[in-house]
Structure 1
Amino acid sequence: MTLTRRSFMAAGAAATGLLATPAILRAQGKLALRMGHPHPETDSWQDTALWMSETLAEKSGGEITLQVFPNGLIGNDPTMINAVRGGSLDIMVTGNPFFTGLAPELNVLDLPYLFHDRDHIARVLDGDIGDRLRRNFDGTGLFALSLWETGWRHVTNSRRPVETPDDIKGLKIRTTPNPAHIEAFKLLGAVPTPMAFTELFTALEMGAVDGQENPTTLILNSRFYEAQKYLSLTQHAFTAAPLVTNADKLAAMGEDQRNLLIETAREGAKRQRAMNVEREGSSLAKLKAEGMQVVDTPDRDAFRAIVAESVQATFAKEFGADLISQISSAAA
């Protein structure tokens, strides 16, 4: 049985004013869920997942449990996505780029220099555009419960400060598998090298890649500063992170269980994004204290001039320009 988008909207509306009592949930039977993610235990993903676990248990009177496996314990990003699709894992979250092979239109969220600020991001992720993008999961075996975030992406490397596009030429940079990320770094003259996040620290430590690009919170929590000397605040892209579950399992849940899970996932997304905002400044200060040399004001206009229009044109050629236009219009 597949949960349709219409039934999701109905469930979401019911979840907003959830009236189910633990007694009602108990009548539906116990529900034991397992969730995995690739980020370290110090990251906001883990903190939010644990909050979800506590909230589900409390509101269900102990009838819904959520066991959380951080740090890629269950496998790397593609492995966990396939595990949820196959039903051996119930819930997982990872960066949007790892889903674009299944739902290519999601690639729009990773176009370089598309978002202006966090208000712009919230209007897109939590509004009609976000609903449209979540519909891309229909037919994949996955259901997007909500959209978390990884955050603003910045470049680190072990070789030299990056102040202008010329400084990045020739650097072997680990990227996500997202076509927009790969194309952008090729345009900049770097050598993009896609790999799973769980493999990244070792690749940096061994010199298999010169650098990578991730938010400051994740650079700190993953201790990339131990293998990277230079950080440049390029803010070249923003990465959302779909929290997904197995669509058939969600549809098979009791209505009150399903509503509670959706309600908790949506509230968790808001908490996780707010948590990242609070931690961005402190994480940067800690990276500086750890000895990273930080370029606070790289020439973002120069980076934007090389990658933004060209990468957007590639996306528009395949999917049309209307979605990009809608996202740009939401910046007002």
Structure 2
Amino acid sequence: MKKQLFFMLNILLAFTLLLSACSSSGANSESSGDSDTITFKATHVTQETHIWHKTAEKFGEELEALSGGKMKLEIYPAAQLGQEKDMVQQLETGSLDFGFLTNAYMSTRQESLNAWFMPFAFNNLAEAVEMKDSEPAKEMLAELESQGLVGLDYVFAGNRHVLMKENHVSSPEDLKGKKVRIIGSPAIQDFWAETGAGPTAMPLSEIYTSLQTGVIDGIDIDLDALVTEKYYENANKLTLTNHMTFPAVIVMSQQSYANLSEENQQIVKEALKKAVEWGNAEAIKREEENLQTLKDAGVEVQELSNPDSFDEIKAKVIDQYSQKSPAIQSFIDDAK
């Protein structure tokens, strides 16, 4: 009886090891077998209709195509794996492979990324997209190495505008005393504080009801998020300010990256390059489409009628942040 039990245990152990060896391992323990599939995990905070999710899907398609089906991507949208601080922890440990992280959150971890939030730096999204290939922007990505991350690229959601419940915005005077939802970032916080508004940081999931119940008077938002999250159902005064742009920083876990062969690292980079080129072109295209969608939904849209009234605030924020990081100063100079 004991011999039979010992024999069965050995069979069970062998079967378990066989299953483990044959299963898809992901990037953390890349297999050398030609038939093995690497399944990566990626996450972000937006809904599946948002351009960042669509870019992630495109990345997955390119990975499969370039790898001959040996690389796949599982995407977890809408903060399914936790908030961004949780995502970064998972990236640091290698339990998560890719993150499409808001530049707002990442700017709280790395000073230089505040460069993207210098007020009124770009007249439109196309200008912002062009800056992603500048040397200062590449330097910011390289600095992420100190956090256990491989900085890969930027994909944009659009430029930032102001949606209010009761009035449009023509100058900082229209914002004084108003509770405006912002996404947490040092430069964004400082800009809004200078306008005289009461900047209130909160996650996307809380905005809809906060507008509905009057907890906030308005929001700082890009058009893609405004359409996908339908915040216009509770506020319909949209002022096109273009006061900031809004990229996601696409990163990979250093552990996951290091476990790939050089050939597979190159496939990842090439696939992402193709996806980002598509995603940013689509984001620019969506700016006009989203604007028309909002107008059709009854949103009252106005251009910022007095942009010069923000000049003093703009100069103060830029002067403050240009002294914080050489990369920020270089970015500002290139943007001009």
TM-score by length of 2: 0.85
Shift of 1:323: 3.8
Tell me, in whole angstroms, the C-alpha distance in 2 between the residues paired with 1:328 and 1:316. Answer: 10
Shift of 1:240: 1.8
In the alignment, which residue of structure 2 is the partner of 1:314?
Answer: 320
Tell me, in whole angstroms, the C-alpha distance in 1 between the residues paired with 2:249 and 2:152. Answer: 8
Shift of 1:25: 8.1
CA 1:54 to 1:279, structure 2 compared with 1: closer, same or farther past 3 Å? same
- Tell me whether 290-299 or 166-175 shows the greater mean CA deviation: 290-299
**1:280 aligned onto 2:287:** yes
CA 1:285 to 1:25, structure 2 compared with 1: closer, same or farther past 3 Å? farther
In the alignment, which residue of structure 2 is the partner of 1:18?
Answer: none
Tell me, in whole angstroms, the C-alpha distance in 1 between the residues paired with 2:66 and 2:156. Answer: 25
Could you say what secondary structure the match of 2:241 adopts? Answer: strand
Tell me, in whole angstroms, the C-alpha distance in 1 between the residues paired with 2:53 and 2:83. Answer: 16
In the alignment, which residue of structure 2 is the partner of 1:40?
Answer: 47
Task: Note if contact 1:188-1:306 (Cα within 8 Å) is conserved in structure 2.
Answer: no
Task: Note if contact 1:173-1:191 (Cα within 8 Å) is conserved in structure 2.
Answer: yes
Task: Note if contact 1:151-1:276 (Cα within 8 Å) is conserved in structure 2.
Answer: yes
Could you say what secondary structure the match of 1:62 adopts? Answer: coil
* RMSD of equivalent CA atoms: 2.1
Shift of 1:236: 0.4
Gap runs ≥5 in structure 1: 1-23
In the alignment, which residue of structure 2 is the partner of 1:8?
Answer: none
In the alignment, which residue of structure 2 is the partner of 1:59?
Answer: 66
Task: Note if contact 2:115-2:331 (Cα within 8 Å) is conserved in structure 1.
Answer: no
Task: Note if contact 2:124-2:242 (Cα within 8 Å) is conserved in structure 1.
Answer: no
In the alignment, which residue of structure 2 is the partner of 1:329?
Answer: 334
Deviation per residue, 1:48-80 (Å, 9 max, x gap): 111111221222222111011112222223322
List aligned pairs for 1:261-280, cutoff 5 A: 261-280=268-287
Shift of 1:176: 1.7
AA matched with 2:332: I
Gap runs ≥5 in structure 2: 1-30
**1:103 aligned onto 2:110:** yes
Percent identical among aligned pairs is: 25
- Tell me whether 121-130 or 38-47 shows the greater mean CA deviation: 121-130
Shift of 1:286: 1.2
**1:152 aligned onto 2:159:** yes
CA 1:57 to 1:307, structure 2 compared with 1: closer, same or farther past 3 Å? same
TM-score by length of 1: 0.86
Task: Note if contact 2:51-2:157 (Cα within 8 Å) is conserved in structure 1.
Answer: no
Tell me, in whole angstroms, the C-alpha distance in 1 between the residues paired with 2:86 and 2:213. Answer: 24
Deviation per residue, 1:107-129 (Å, 9 max, x gap): 11111112344554344211322
List aligned pairs for 1:245-256, cutoff 5 A: 245-256=252-263
In the alignment, which residue of structure 2 is the partner of 1:226?
Answer: 233
Tell me, in whole angstroms, the C-alpha distance in 2 between the residues paired with 1:26 and 1:278. Answer: 42
In the alignment, which residue of structure 1 is the partner of 2:223?
Answer: 216
Shift of 1:29: 4.1
Tell me, in whole angstroms, the C-alpha distance in 2 between the residues paired with 1:325 and 1:91. Answer: 28
Deviation per residue, 1:246-300 (Å, 9 max, x gap): 1121111122211111111122111111101111111111111112111224322
CA 1:212 to 1:273, structure 2 compared with 1: closer, same or farther past 3 Å? same
Task: Note if contact 1:71-1:198 (Cα within 8 Å) is conserved in structure 2.
Answer: no
Deviation per residue, 1:75-126 (Å, 9 max, x gap): 2233222322232221111321110122111111111112344554344211
Name the larger-Rg structure: 2
In the alignment, which residue of structure 2 is the partner of 1:135?
Answer: 142
CA 1:127 to 1:55, structure 2 compared with 1: closer, same or farther past 3 Å? same
Tell me, in whole angstroms, the C-alpha distance in 2 between the residues paired with 1:120 and 1:226. Answer: 30
CA 1:30 to 1:179, structure 2 compared with 1: closer, same or farther past 3 Å? same
In the alignment, which residue of structure 1 is the partner of 2:128?
Answer: 121
Tell me, in whole angstroms, the C-alpha distance in 2 between the residues paired with 1:83 and 1:206. Answer: 35
